[in-house]
Amino acid sequence: QLQVQESGPGLVKPSETLSLTCTVSGGFISTSTYYWGWIRQPPGKGLEWIGFFYYSGSTNYSPSLKSRVTISVDRSKSQFSLRLSSVTAADTAIYYCARAPDQWGQGTLVTVSS
Amino acid sequence: QTVVTQEPSLTVSPGGTVTLTCASSTGAVTSDYYPNWFQQKPGQAPRALIYSTSIRHSWTPARFSGSLLGGKAALTLSGVQPEDEAEYYCLLYYGGSQGVFGGGTKLTVL
């Protein structure tokens, strides 16, 4: 059974870069059937699609976040990562990593505050 | 900016049937948008229910069905159970690769 699990700092200062890692177990990132990526959910609000990549390396980002987001992959570690630069309080959210279309992590809360 | 619209809230009686819809600001939703549906209960991560318009995951009960209805993606729950009370989100893919979530529908079973 494939599992994905987020990890990273729970607190980031304004203007700094948020960095999270997703570890994949029980499966392979290189599988061609799936997309992999990140979604977030501000407290008490709805879901926001951040960006996903395909096993071939092509990556798509939300237009509203594109200038600040980078998703990268380390297949040797079965991990992929999210970097979001110049964060503000509006970036406070639960961040989920996922394999589309089926598996989500439990999410990790990241708070942006000084 | 592309907007995906869902009903903010719906109420259904136990055993009843309810249809949630998902509309795109760009026009009619087709299978080319690969509609996905997710269920989220309080304090939990979303759980995938339906992908590519109508395909259920192995864990999705048969009472959940996806379709296209009047230019929208639709999720129909038949024989609603109390445990179906949750927030439901749709996800559409634009250009086959750029995702946009709807604002969610809060389903109350009463």
Query: How does pLDDT run across A82-110, given as a tens digit for each residue?
Result: 999 999 999 999 999 999 999 999 999 99
Residue of B nearest to A43 (CA): B43
Indicate whether A32 pLDDT > 80: no
All residues at 6 or more sequence positions from B105 whose CB lies less than 8 Å from its CB, including other chains: B6, B7, B8, B9, B10, B20, B87, B88, B89
Assigned token pair, B70: 């009047």
pLDDT band (50, 70, 90) for residue B31: very high
All residues of chain B having their beta carbon less than 8 Å from the beta carbon of residue A64 are: 1
Nearest CB to B36; choose among A60, A101, A106: A101
Distance from B89 to chain A by nearest Cα, in Å?
A: 8
pLDDT for the residue A30: 79
Residue-averaged pLDDT of chain B: 97
Give the span between the Cα atoms of B44 and A76, in whole angstroms.
30
CA nearest neighbour of A96 among B47, B107, B5, B22: B47
Indicate whether A29 pLDDT > 90: no
Indicate whether B58 pLDDT > 90: yes
Assigned token pair, A87: 């964060």
Average pLDDT rounded to a whole number, residues B70-97 = 96
Is residue A20 classed exposed, middle or buried when 0-12, 13-18 and 19+ CB atoms within 10 A define those classes? buried
